[in-house]
Structure 1
Amino acid sequence: MKFRPPTQREEPGVNLTPLIDVVFLLLIFFMVSTTFDRHADIDITLPSADREAEQVDDRAWIDIVVDADGRYFVDGRELVNRRVETLEQVLGEVLEARGDDPVVIRADASASHQSVVRALDVVGRLGVSAVSIATLGDDGRAADD
């Protein structure tokens, strides 16, 4: 007498292939439909050049001056070189001593854009939120004087 061998039953389970397909489709959909907003690290309020600047408060300003050659001056002291690390170190020391005084950047009209951007980047990395850029008014005087 010949008995049939017991048939092996397939274990019940969930097929994950369609689930993985759906997850990939959702991932692609969200990647394609998402807009990426890039926010600036520095929140800057530019003074108006066509009218008199308004007095913000009575605190003293920390001056960063960029001359036509791209040299930096912090509160009247010239930095030993033009490196960003030097500007960051000197400005950090001034901020430690002066607390939360606002910063004004005065750049020569013929100074390179890169020099001004470096100064703004350093100010942002040091966590300063009150930053102004000095301009000349219609009468030729500095708008923040």
Structure 2
Amino acid sequence: MEFRPKKKRSAPSVIIVSLIDVLMVVLIFLVITTTFKERIPALDLSLPTSSQAGSSATETEKPLLVRIAKSEPHLQLNNKTVTLSELRDAFYQRANRKPTITLTIQADEKAPFGQVVSVRDLAQEAGITNIHAQVKLTDNR
């Protein structure tokens, strides 16, 4: 027994305009809240702090970056693991190409101090005089 007449129902429709608005708001939110970090290699370095450190001048050629870790292998040159002899060769090669090249040393606080001294000696022996030690700045500056 059917008391109501059958109404023909139309197919449901989705309003696209409001969906686009919602998606744009979500996209803007994600872009604003995303942080972009510089990728640091797999070495877990704990740099010493300094309140007096200054920033180095920029160069057109990429400077040499030596990382000294507290565990083996200790040395990395521009994100590539090297030995002391390979480091010596790289220093001589770059110093011959550009005598004013900058060498930045990132040494872990607990890295063997002998490694830091060896790297500095190799650089000076190759003729590199612009040597920097990279540190973290303290907050009381």
Q: TM-score, normalised by structure 1?
A: 0.52
Indicate whether 1:93 and 2:93 are aligned.
Answer: yes
Which of 43, 63, 66 is 2:65 aligned to?
63
Per-residue CA distance 1:16-63 (angstroms, 9 max, x = gap)? xxxxxxxxxxxxxxxxxxxxxxxxxxxxxxxx8115x43332214310
Q: Alpha carbon RMSD of aligned pairs, Å? A: 2.2
Aligned match of 1:50: 51
- Give the C-alpha shift of residue 109 in structure 1: 1.1
Quote the Cα distance in structure 2 between the aligned partners of 1:94 and 1:104: 14
**Contact 1:105–1:131 (Cα < 8 Å) also in 2:** yes
- Identify if the C-alpha distance between structure 1 residues 56 and 136 changes in structure 2 by more than 3 Å, giving closer, same or farther: closer
Structure 1 residues 117-136: aligned runs within 5 Å? 117-136=117-136
Q: Distance in 2 between matches of 1:63 and 1:129?
A: 14
User: Secondary structure of 1:132's match?
Assistant: strand
Q: Secondary structure at the match of 1:100?
A: coil
SS at match of 1:114: helix
2:81 corresponds to: 78
Give percent identity, aligned residues only.
12
Secondary structure class of the residue paired with 1:104:
strand
Instruction: Give 1 or 2: higher strand fraction.
Output: 2
Q: Do the aligned partners of residues 73 and 89 (structure 1) sit closer, same or farther apart at CA in structure 2, a change above 3 Å counting?
A: same
Which stretch shows the higher mean deviation, 112-121 or 86-95?
86-95
Query: Does the 8 Å contact 2:95/2:127 carry over to 1?
Result: no
TM score, norm. by length of structure 2: 0.53
Name 1:14's counterpart in structure 2: none
Gaps of 5+ in 1: 1-47, 140-145
Runs of 4+ deviating beyond 2 Å: 53-56, 90-100
Cα offset, 1:93, TM superposition:
2.8
Larger radius of gyration: 1
CA distance in 2, matches of 1:138, 1:55: 14
Tell me which amino acid in the other structure corresponds to 1:112: P
Mapped contact 2:51–2:138 kept (Cα < 8 A): yes
Q: Distance in 2 between matches of 1:69 and 1:95?
A: 28
Unaligned runs of 5+ residues in structure 2 are 1-48
Aligned length, in residue pairs? 88
2: CA distance between counterparts of 1:74 and 1:94?
12
Offset of 1:125 from its aligned partner?
Answer: 0.2
